[in-house]
Amino acid sequence: MENENNSNLAMEKKVISNEQQPNYFHYIIQSIKDPNTILSHDFKGYHQFGLINMIIFLGLILLSSFIGLLDYLDALEWFGFGDYFNYLGRTLSFAIAIVIVIPVFVKVAASNGSKFHMNYFLEKFGAFFILPSILLLVSLPLEALGITVSSWFSSLATTFLYIGVFMTSYLYVSRNNMKTAFIFVAGFYFVYRLLLMIL
């Protein structure tokens, strides 16, 4: 098993060395203009960019919660430190759910004969965070201005995240298996909601 993992990593490094890696800005432009290039079954070596996408998404979720906290304080309806922590719950819940689902992607994919390691899924799953992040970025100034449609963009961002979970499973984990993809979406959703309830 260890020899197989080493060979997978060596194959990933070979793929990376055969292609000139763009900077993050060019990666985003390329992802928007031609997402099929990033989301092909080939490993491109963009796993660090995928991780950055996830961090940006979580940062925007946190910023959105902070804007909500300011509105909460303006309404003079806060009751102490515990209320501050409640606004971190959404970010932490998403973060933990993401940390859980990626190793599960790897494990299930390995049981289906996948030859790729965790970096592969960081790249592919991470690419699906670009559109949700853009939608959250649009929603933030609208939310700060108190414009109601901001919730449309933030809700759509969350929807596209779940679509990303579905597509990662359907395309890469258990290819063309809709049942497994639906199970992953349901599992991710329930883990997130359970964490949100606990936190």
Q: What is the pLDDT of residues 79-112, one digit of tens each?
A: 444 555 556 888 999 999 999 999 999 999 999 8
How much is the pLDDT for 138?
Answer: 93
Could you give phi then psi for residue 46, rounded to 5 degrees? -100, 20
pLDDT in tens, 24-83: 999 999 999 998 888 988 898 899 999 999 999 999 998 887 776 555 544 444 444 455
pLDDT over 60 at 160, yes or no = yes
pLDDT in tens, 138-150: 999 888 887 888 8
- For residues 102-125, give the mean pLDDT: 90
How much is the pLDDT for 108?
Answer: 93
How much is the pLDDT for 194?
Answer: 95
Question: Of 19, 6, 195, nearest to 123 (Cα)?
Answer: 19
How much is the pLDDT for 84?
Answer: 54
What is the identity of the amino acid at 8? N
Residue scoring higher pLDDT (67 or 137) = 137
How much is the pLDDT for 87?
Answer: 63
- CA 9, CA 140: separation in Å to the nearest integer? 39
- CA 120, CA 100: separation in Å to the nearest integer? 16
How much is the pLDDT for 93?
Answer: 93
The pTM score is: 0.82
pLDDT over 90 at 3, yes or no = no
How much is the pLDDT for 171?
Answer: 93
- CA 33, CA 37: separation in Å to the nearest integer? 9
Radius of gyration of the chain (CA): 18
- CA 17, CA 153: separation in Å to the nearest integer? 38
Residue scoring higher pLDDT (130 or 88) = 130
